[in-house]
Structure 1
Amino acid sequence: MSTGAAADGGVHDFGCRGGDPAASAVSGRVSGTGEGKVRSLAWNQGTTLLRAWRAGVLPRRKKLLMTNTNAPSSAASLGLLVLRVVVGAIFAAHGAQKIFEYTIPGTIGSFADMGVPLAEIAAPVVAFVELIGGILLILGLLTRPVGIVLAIDMAVALILVHLPAGLWVGDGGYEFVAVLGVAALALALTGAGRFSVDGAVLRGRAPAWLS
């Protein structure tokens, strides 16, 4: 079989089975017909998808997929429950320690010694924020705003008190408050999950940023 360039720039068979021009012509027509079928099939598929999109079928399927994806699974909610309980218990314990063990006057003196501005105001505010915020995290109530407040609390403690001491907590460093702050921020971003007061009571009745 031999080939050659045609005037239109394409390549066509000039010979087939001993150079029979008729056979070559038939082969060209069959090849052209197959190409036409492929183009017709692609066109039909494209128009079908376009009609489905205009009819609203595709957006509905996409919306369903997004809803299923955004809904927390049972495993994810269980993980959030564990995180909330542990982090909330640590915050609540530190708040209770500042109030009942150190007492508010003792906490004020400690804050003043560490150079915290307005220690008379900051000490009781931080103590009650950590106690109440920790309890709310355990319950999974108002998780997003509580997580933001506790993350800010840890960020301020890191910057004002622990950052100059370096990383290690044994030297008074910031590793512990950094972990607590990031955990609180993560809960603020994810919400409480299904196994929470937010999930059982507020979901569907409150703005997403609240629960």
Structure 2
Amino acid sequence: MTTTDRTGLARTTALTRTVRDVVLLVARVGLGVIMIGHAKLEYDVGGSLAGVGRLFAQSGVPLPALTGPANVLFELVGGIAVILGAAVPVVGVLMALNMAGAWVFVHTSGLFAMDRNGPETVIAIGLLSLVLAVTGSGRLGLDHLAVRRLHRTPRPTT
């Protein structure tokens, strides 16, 4: 039921914002857990950061000795940042680019190839990353707290 008075409208708006913030939190935690889990998987399979570089070399990723370890560290640190709601727009864009690279170099089978090498998962992770990059962390993230603090700080007059 929709009310037309200002009190009802304010209540609906507050509820909508709260639901939005909770959904963004769930999406952030989900993406962050996936990123951290993927970093751990790559590290475990490679056996070390150098080993991850060798895995990247086998997949034809350019500059594997650099991109392999950097990818593991980015997914670990970025995953933690996304869960906390810190630097979500930046991490979201970088993760989407990371997933585009994974699609081009690693997940090269056709869509729904059923060979565990299809790009569906990296496409979904990349799209979620872009959505979070555009929407931000919501009110339940550190980004929101930092922005609020910046707006409260009085600016010096000249």
TM-score range, shorter chain: 0.7 to 0.9
Query: TM-score normalized by structure 1?
Result: 0.59
Q: 2:26 aligns with which of 82, 92, 95?
A: 82
Q: 1:170 to 1:132 in 2, by over 3 A?
A: farther
SS at match of 2:139: coil
Q: 1:73 to 1:136 in 2, by over 3 A?
A: same
Matched with 1:96 is 40
* Identity score, percent: 36
Matched with 2:132 is 187
Name the CA distance, whole Å, in 1 between partners of 2:114 and 2:49.
25
Larger Rg: 1
SS at match of 1:81: helix
Matched with 1:131 is 76
Matched with 2:10 is none
Letter in 2 for 1:145: V
- Indicate yes or no: 2:64 matched with 1:119: yes
Name the CA distance, whole Å, in 1 between partners of 2:59 and 2:45.
18
**In the TM superposition, what whole-angstrom CA distance separates every residue of 1:115-174 from its partner, at most 9, and x where no partner exists?**
111111110111111111111000001111111111111111111221x31123742010
Return 5+ residue gaps in structure 2 as ranges: 1-12, 152-158
Name the CA distance, whole Å, in 2 between partners of 1:179 and 1:100.
24
**In the TM superposition, what whole-angstrom CA distance separates every residue of 1:1-20 from its partner, at most 9, and x where no partner exists?**
xxxxxxxxxxxxxxxxxxxx
Give RMSD over aligned pairs: 1.9
Question: Shift of residue 201 of structure 1?
Answer: 3.1
Aligned residue pairs total 135
SS at match of 1:84: helix
Letter in 2 for 1:83: A
Return 5+ residue gaps in structure 1 as ranges: 1-68, 207-211
Q: 1:202 aligns with which of 147, 154, 157?
A: 147
* 8 Å CA contact retained: 1:169, 1:175: no
* 8 Å CA contact retained: 2:45, 2:52: no
Q: Which runs of 4+ in 1 moved over 2 A?
A: 96-102, 200-204
**In the TM superposition, what whole-angstrom CA distance separates every residue of 1:163-192 from its partner, at most 9, and x where no partner exists?**
x31123742010001100000110000000
Query: TM-score normalized by structure 2?
Result: 0.78
